[in-house]
Amino acid sequence: MKNTYVLHFDQSNYDQPIVYRLIRDYDLVFNILKAVILPKQESYLVMEISGAKEQLEKGLSYLLDQGVRVDPINKSVRRNEEKCAHCGACTAICPTGALAVERPDMVVVFSPEKCSVCGLCVTACPFRAMEVSF
Ligand code: SF4
Ligand code: SF4
Q: Do 92 and 124 belong together in one domain?
A: yes
Total of domains in the chain: 2
* Ligand 2 center from residue 50 Cα (angstroms): 16
* Ligand 1 center from residue 103 Cα (angstroms): 16
Q: Do 68 and 6 belong together in one domain?
A: yes
Residue where a domain stops, chosen among 73, 94, 121:
73
Q: State what percent of residues in the chain have pLDDT above 90.
A: 47
Q: Mention every residue, 6+ apart, whose C-beta is less than 8 A from residue 87.
A: 108, 126, 127
What CATH number is given to the structural domain containing 50?
3.30.70.260
Nearest residue by C-alpha to atom 6 in ligand 2: 121
Residue-range definition of the domain harbouring residue 36: 2-73
Residue where a domain stops, chosen among 54, 73, 92:
73
Q: Do 45 and 86 belong together in one domain?
A: no
Residue 91: the pLDDT is: 97
What are the tens digits of pLDDT across the range 10-60? 877 777 788 888 889 999 998 888 788 777 677 888 888 999 999 999 999
Residue type for position 86 = H
Distance CA 108, CA 49 (A): 31
Residue type for position 129 = A
Mean pLDDT on 100-113: 96
Q: Do 43 and 98 belong together in one domain?
A: no
Pocket of ligand 2 (CB under 6 A): 77, 93-96, 98-99, 115-121, 130
What CATH number is given to the structural domain containing 114?
3.30.70.20
DSSP codes of every residue in 60-115: HHHHHHTT-EEEEE--EEEE-TTT-----GGGGT-SSSSEEEETTTTEEEE-GGG-
Residue where a domain stops, chosen among 73, 92, 111:
73
Answer with the residue of higher pLDDT: 98 or 133.
Answer: 98
Q: In whole numbers, what is the pLDDT of the chain averaged over residues?
A: 89
Tell me the Ramachandran region of residue 21: left when phi exceeds 0, alpha when psi lies from -120 to 50, beta otherwise.
alpha
The band of 86, judged by pLDDT with boundaries at 50, 70 and 90, is: very high
Q: Do 108 and 56 belong together in one domain?
A: no
Q: Mention every residue, 6+ apart, whose C-beta is less than 8 A from residue 30.
A: 19, 22, 23, 47, 48, 49, 50
Mean pLDDT on 71-98: 93
Helix (H, G, I), strand (E, B) or coil at 22: helix
